[in-house]
Amino acid sequence: MIRTKVGVLRGGTSSEYDLSLKTGASILAALPEEKYETRDILIDKQGTWHSRGMPSTPARALTQIDVVLNAVHGGIGEDGTIGRILARSGVPFAGSVPYASALAFHKGRAREALMRSGIRMPQGLPFSVRDRIDTGEMARAVFALIPPPYIVKPFSEGASHGIRIARTIIELPDVIGDVLDAYGGAVVEEFIRGHEVSVGLIEGFRGEKLYVLPPAHTIMPGMTHPDRRGWHFITPESHRDASLTHKVPSSFTHQEKRALADIARRAHLALGLGAFSRADVILTPRGPYLLEVNTIPGLYPGASFPHMLESVGSSVREFAEHAIMLARR
């Protein structure tokens, strides 16, 4: 039997390097050796590609590869950089086209596209270091639109990296300044109280054009006992906390699940994504609010996507094999 040669990209230059290593490891472990010859392609924190344990170039690393699975979270993995490299190489790869991936990863541009499509998101304003106003003026513009507390997000980070909270208007200018200094751009959003939920989507899965996985309700450590003012959100540390869990199936009503599936599906289509995605949502009594859409779902132990797969009798293996099929069709 001729085995399919699968290159699994992992690592990368972003703050999600360790999570990417784990997602890649999950894929490598899941693909059966009798069907696939896998190649572990590492991109280190400086951006150097490695193949068979040696420094390489993308062109050499991708030599004699039939298909690529990109497990690089954040940064070059999701901003279109790796997608463009793979597109130029001619090697089929699973996932969104580079432009769509870059759009989804940039919170400012993604927000504009999603809201033009009528998708409900927290109210907010984008800012850039190129804006010719100081952070005090930025804070006043936000305060005129929405009351505190505020969530301040970098334009291009994932897994909650770089997110800051400003509990008062007095704190807001310094928080905006810190995020702009570190990342160059930020979105300031209203804080939405509700349940944190992830919804996974897979194209062409089980005979459906766009298969929506059951929603995963994220339970944070101490979520039932938040601070005295009820503020909590998932931090980078939470992603590494073994006590963070994802409840699937959730206890949401049929109507709530339908609304969650609808907003995730509409977001996937509005951004022009392909193959698969994961929408992060806040569910409130008023309905769901979309936070962001991820084009490279985490498959590491403890991530929400494997829990969603397992809830419908699937697995990382079935998902990875389906992704390979999508890439080669």
CA distances from 251 to 187, 197, 233 (A): 31, 12, 20
146 and 200 both lie in a single domain: no
159 and 88 in a single domain? The answer is: no
Q: Of the residues 190, 220, 248, which one is the last residue of a structural domain?
A: 190
The reported pLDDT for the residue numbered 299 is 97
State whether 135 and 45 are in the same domain.
no
Average pLDDT along the chain? 91
Q: Are 226 and 308 in contact (CB under 8 A)?
A: no
pLDDT higher than 60, residue 159: no
Judgement on whether residues 135 and 27 belong to the same structural domain of the protein: no
Q: Of the candidates 171, 190, 209, which is a domain's last residue? A: 190
CATH of the domain at 304: 3.30.470.20
Write out the two tokens for 68: 């690529």
| pTM of this structure | 0.90
Q: Where on the phi/psi map is residue 131: left (φ > 0), alpha (ψ -120 to 50), or beta?
A: beta
Q: How many domains does the chain have?
A: 3
Q: Do 143 and 292 share a domain, yes or no?
A: no
Please give the residue range of the domain that contains residue 185: 124-190
Q: Note whether 7 and 24 are within 8 A (CB).
A: no
Say if residue 322 is in the same domain as residue 237.
yes
Is the domain of 229 the same as that of 313? yes
User: In the Cβ-directed half-sphere of 15, how many Cα atoms lie within 13 Å?
Assistant: 16
What pLDDT does residue 243 have?
54
H-state helical runs in the chain: 17-30, 58-61, 75-78, 81-89, 98-105, 107-116, 135-145, 172-183, 236-239, 254-270, 304-311, 316-328
Residue 200 sits in the same domain as residue 300: yes
Q: Which of 160, 190, 220 is the last residue of a domain?
A: 190
Quick: pLDDT tens for 211-249.
999 999 988 765 443 333 444 454 444 444 555 788 887
Alpha-carbon span 183 to 164, nearest angstrom: 12
257 pLDDT exceeds 70?
yes
Q: Does the pLDDT of residue 12 top 50, yes or no?
A: yes
In the predicted model, is pLDDT for residue 156 greater than 90?
A: no
Same domain, 45 and 69: yes
Q: Are residues 114 and 228 part of one domain?
A: yes
224 and 305 belong to one structural domain = yes
CA separation for the pair 299, 84 (Å, rounded) = 23
Residue-wise pLDDT tens digits, 176-189: 999 999 889 999 99
CATH number, residue 129 = 3.30.1490.20
Q: Are residues 80 and 217 in the same domain?
A: no
Domain containing 29 — which CATH number? Answer: 3.40.50.20
